[in-house]
Structure 1
């Protein structure tokens, strides 16, 4: 890990408060952005706003190339002092202000004095081994050392401040005593008991004052090596006698499920929480529900009974109504499970009556937040734009806003101040402050991240619409190479988004998954189709993907390619295709349907659905898409699978896969590679060790992925010219 002082100095330069805009230059006068520049970006991961709106905490993620890891840092912005570092030990996340605005709680895997391991070690996840734990830490808003809420090695799954700010509620897996661990090891050795070994969560309450006093007393801010060594020895000697839970922690509730989100009511009487499967696999909607319990503990009451996954729990100021969302492709409250667009709801805490909000909006809702006076502001995506809407009953009114995409909406507890993120294809994502939440067009920038994109990487783009064979209008995005907008017969790379409940639009992207602007900088016209199944175009448009999981959207994509060729924009002799996740599904399918693509780059996409149903973590969703489980609809499972049509493949194909992926099993990549090898199709297969479905462990993995994909596209495009 590079020295902390250097890291803070570098990040401070990129995070200074934005001043006046840069002078405009013609696109041709700017050198194209390089691969190294593209991947040396800092992303915004979270925001929190002080109760009175006077300060904001901002979480960022940036590559640490030397240590093969991503850094997760926290920053503090105040109206008086601007932006400054807050917590920079390498893996800090989820900041939350106390109700009085004096403290910020956050989650970090930084070690206590005497513990082994380093915070943010490369290739590891927080709390993923015996030497690390994702604890809750507390730091004063005006600065100083961060202090742990507890010393036990307990991973906090979620947390929330109590209404009076005197305590923190948090959830952890029900821990085992040392004796229980020893007994389990003696009986089972290293054997995994697939379901039997899972344990649900505890909902705990812990007063912060005793914890802070204890932390100051036993954990000096800068222990020397000798004291750290002594502390480690003492900890080892006393391990058997240590309490499993913090001595001053009060158990409020026990759940057979994991507790994913916690929402204490403003009156301090009730806690709402939502549950998730302990094994973190979507095998059915019953694991995802909302519950309520008194802040003093007692009987837990189930608040919802539906086939959807609730999220974003927010109490009304009077503590009578609980607002929540069901994001796109997370089920439905209106009946049987189905993947529809995101919706907003509120439930009466006393009666359990649920009311849908903003139902006149025909796009998809994602996040929302409540203002201090109880009004609801939501993010709504429609087509290629995501804007802010005021929600009043079933009415959603679009607020005045800038063209592009808003995100990360956060409001203040006791004022109507708001912070949001905003971006366009050519404007990097920044955090903005809105003093008037009903005028999100009037924003003050709090960050100036990744200025190189605003200075040089400003590709031209436009929305593109075509007509499908059934008469439906389908939309996508075209991102042009430098100075090529309006040109004809361009080499074209069709880059397919994942999901499928997602959509490409007027928003910033610069990473291993969203690298369209880098492909454009390398001379490709990038076509980004929002095929059937994409969100933001209405429920009917989204539902038409079921049960034809790949063939229906595949036709949309190919008809879009045909239209661009017919319009003279794309060169039919220089076409390539690619995508990741569901974009990989589609790429794998389309190279069995046509040989017109000169190359393909695909990642984490299934080639069949039966084994993938059994291996992935969203089997319930898979079965919904395909009209049942494999034995209930075997013909469709086969007809919609690329593997059974691989005899038609002629396209040179580059594959990538995370070695630990359970969303789309790594075995799908192995099966596809073996099929290509047996057919003699030119191909290569890169496996990223330790990575799951997203490449979030090591920044070099994403860098190498895109580097090699660009090489692959260029190699076979040049060959097609010979």
Structure 2
């Protein structure tokens, strides 16, 4: 049977929606539409609007020349604020324009970077996060090459500012020397809650942060409480007495529970102590809260009362829903970005009392017409009776009773999960491979979120252990049902998925090909070279400086002498999350041992590969590697 290949040019040139914002009246949805890759130095994006009741989406701003994003409706629905770099490419600032269209008015004149705007409830002010640009002295030193850098010094802090939407008078309201990670307006428009840490480093989100309340007009912060990790999605109660937020569950990085705390200070109280899913986004829903959660392969919605009562909403929703989710003023209708294995992300809307969400855009019909494989949920039993779930993407044109080459793609995290999602991008390869005749298994092994805290915490002091046993038992299950060819098995992944791919080939010779993307190979060096070392304390009892043995024992480099599998290694050269040195270590070791291997690095790229030609190159190499070693 002739297969229809999923074109890699199409995968790297289409656009995807994000950040859906429903209007206060619930009749319109503004969203950002941006290419999945970029051609030049700066990314581009535009704001689009679609009727919540249905109709054609229309472009509201931009023409592809600049970056317009983060649309925010004013409380009366008359204006739309957004960020843009139309004044100077690469420097995003704050604009507003009439909701019916017209000229965009710049509201903030300082150079630098603006993000996360939010209107005050009374519609008079806009708050936003602002990061200072380089100073003239810093530019001069760079030009003169007198620019020595001191690590963990000379920070550029992100602070909270407020601007008057009419006079355009602006001022900072958060204290100097504190990094603001998130904030929320109080119902009276006179105060804001902020979550801050001492240093503007990603690692700060895994250390102690503080929630405090600052006056809009300026003044010192009033501390509310401190916690380990971030207080995500701050929301005020309608009476201004409480703050709700998501926070990590014990050691789990992404296994969030919902808490509330008195806004005047006090002890936090968990509102969802017995919930088995994973909170993914928290927002206002009328006088209640709306919780978007992960429950295995699918999204789930709950109305959450300030007293902790939970009510399942929109029970018919399946697939993956990406945060944020927004509700209208009355809490009757919501907007979201949804996807599943057969449908790329689109804008959806639905009444909160209904059974599901209705699709309101069809932004990439050509992707749906491509050679996609059908997806099905699969479950199997691992060691000690552990039940494991995953998604199986069948090869396009699948024929019952025929065996196919099987590729396992491990997810990142490790506290993350695969859902019923559209896997066809620069780092999620299931449909790319399915269109080329492979079956692809997307497992959610121990350590994954969405299955309860015990399951998520199961890889504490056992990274790679139960995870790999769950993966291999999944492979056995696919072989046992007659789908997978046991002699043509591959494994791949990006980030922590790259780690699991590297770890797997040091522990078994069953895989005939592997692709390792931006994965740590030495957990001791990764702790020093990556930007979130404190995250390791979610998986290990102590740091590698106090107790290095557990880190080394679970490092692929420790057992690299066992590898027989041909391995392609891919990495961005400017990656701060997982240093490219991790891939270099693995490559040098494999090459020295005479293993078929190749290391490909991408200049100017970080943990994400963003330039279009780099994405194309990566996808071609990945597909070519598996074709070379698993093909007929």
**Shorter-normalised TM-score: what interval?**
over 0.9
CA distance 1:185–1:406, shift in 2 (3 Å): closer
After superposition, the C-alpha distances for 1:200-223 in whole angstroms (9 at most, x for unaligned) are: 344322212233xxxxxxxxxxxx
CA distance 1:562–1:315, shift in 2 (3 Å): same
Structure 1: which 5+ runs fail to align?
1-27, 113-118, 120-125, 127-132, 212-247
Q: Residue in 1 aligned with 2:450?
A: 536
How far has the Cα of 1:51 moved from its partner? 1.4
1:307–1:337: 8 Å Cα contact kept in structure 2?
Answer: no
Q: Residue in 2 aligned with 1:404?
A: 319
CA distance 1:338–1:380, shift in 2 (3 Å): closer
After superposition, the C-alpha distances for 1:196-253 in whole angstroms (9 at most, x for unaligned) are: 3125344322212233xxxxxxxxxxxxxxxxxxxxxxxxxxxxxxxxxxxx323323
How far has the Cα of 1:702 moved from its partner? 1.7
What is the distance in 2 between the residues matched to 1:294 and 1:283?
24
Q: Residue in 1 aligned with 2:25?
A: 52
CA distance 1:378–1:627, shift in 2 (3 Å): same
After superposition, the C-alpha distances for 1:284-312 in whole angstroms (9 at most, x for unaligned) are: 74453322112222220222212121111
Counterpart pick for 2:203 among 273, 282, 291: 282
1:707 aligns with 2:620: yes
What is the distance in 2 between the residues matched to 1:364 and 1:611?
31
1:148 aligns with 2:63: no
What is the distance in 1 between the residues matched to 2:81 and 2:129?
14
Structure 2: which 5+ runs fail to align?
none
Q: Residue in 1 aligned with 2:353?
A: 438
1:108 aligns with 2:84: yes
1:75 aligns with 2:48: yes
Instruction: Please give the secondary structure, in 2, of the residue aligned with 1:628.
Output: coil
Instruction: Please give the secondary structure, in 1, of the residue aligned with 2:543.
Output: coil
1:681 aligns with 2:602: no
Counterpart pick for 1:479 among 370, 381, 393: 393
Q: Residue in 1 aligned with 2:34?
A: 61
What is the distance in 1 between the residues matched to 2:140 and 2:37?
41
Q: Residue in 2 aligned with 1:509?
A: 423
How far has the Cα of 1:480 moved from its partner? 0.6
After superposition, the C-alpha distances for 1:530-549 in whole angstroms (9 at most, x for unaligned) are: 11101111111111111121
Q: Residue in 2 aligned with 1:375?
A: 288
What is the distance in 1 between the residues matched to 2:19 and 2:119?
17
1:157–1:260: 8 Å Cα contact kept in structure 2?
Answer: no
Q: Which has the larger radius of gyration?
A: 1
Counterpart pick for 1:91 among 58, 67, 88: 67
How far has the Cα of 1:91 moved from its partner? 1.4
What is the distance in 1 between the residues matched to 2:613 and 2:142?
37
CA distance 1:277–1:84, shift in 2 (3 Å): farther
- Whichever structure has more strand as a proportion of its residues is 2
1:267–1:318: 8 Å Cα contact kept in structure 2?
Answer: no
After superposition, the C-alpha distances for 1:603-634 in whole angstroms (9 at most, x for unaligned) are: 10011111110111110012331221112222
RMSD: 2.6
Q: How many residues align?
A: 626
What is the distance in 1 between the residues matched to 2:81 and 2:49?
13
CA distance 1:259–1:667, shift in 2 (3 Å): same
User: How do 1:276-425 and structure 2 match up within 5 A?
Assistant: 276=197, 278-282=199-203, 285-326=206-247, 331-332=248-249, 337-339=251-253, 341-372=255-286, 374-392=287-305, 393-399=307-313, 400-408=315-323, 409-425=325-341
Q: Residue in 2 aligned with 1:588?
A: 502
Counterpart pick for 1:617 among 528, 531, 538: 531
What is the distance in 2 between the residues matched to 1:461 and 1:552?
25
How far has the Cα of 1:466 moved from its partner? 1.8
What is the distance in 1 between the residues matched to 2:378 and 2:140?
63
What is the distance in 1 between the residues matched to 2:4 and 2:142?
60
CA distance 1:477–1:176, shift in 2 (3 Å): closer
What is the distance in 1 between the residues matched to 2:574 and 2:50?
38
Instruction: Please give the secondary structure, in 2, of the residue aligned with 1:430.
Output: strand
After superposition, the C-alpha distances for 1:486-508 in whole angstroms (9 at most, x for unaligned) are: 33422111111111112112122
Q: Residue in 1 aligned with 2:117?
A: 159
Q: What TM-score does the superposition give when structure 1 sets the normalisation length?
A: 0.82
1:429 aligns with 2:429: no
2:479–2:485: 8 Å Cα contact kept in structure 1?
Answer: yes
What is the distance in 2 between the residues matched to 1:613 and 1:514?
25
What is the distance in 1 between the residues matched to 2:95 and 2:553?
52
How far has the Cα of 1:381 moved from its partner? 1.4
2:52–2:360: 8 Å Cα contact kept in structure 1?
Answer: no
How far has the Cα of 1:355 moved from its partner? 2.4
How far has the Cα of 1:270 moved from its partner? 1.2
Q: Residue in 1 aligned with 2:148?
A: 191
User: How do 1:164-179 and structure 2 match up within 5 A?
Assistant: 164-173=122-131
1:361–1:395: 8 Å Cα contact kept in structure 2?
Answer: no
1:344–1:365: 8 Å Cα contact kept in structure 2?
Answer: yes
Q: Residue in 2 aligned with 1:21?
A: none
Instruction: Please give the secondary structure, in 2, of the residue aligned with 1:209.
Output: coil
What is the distance in 2 between the residues matched to 1:664 and 1:619?
10
What is the distance in 2 between the residues matched to 1:568 and 1:660?
43
After superposition, the C-alpha distances for 1:625-667 in whole angstroms (9 at most, x for unaligned) are: 1221112222111111110111111111111001100111111
Q: What TM-score does the superposition give when structure 2 sets the normalisation length?
A: 0.93
Instruction: Please give the secondary structure, in 1, of the residue aligned with 2:552.
Output: helix
Instruction: Please give the secondary structure, in 1, of the residue aligned with 2:456.
Output: helix
What is the distance in 1 between the residues matched to 2:429 and 2:42?
20
After superposition, the C-alpha distances for 1:86-124 in whole angstroms (9 at most, x for unaligned) are: 122431221111122122111222225xxxxxx3xxxxx
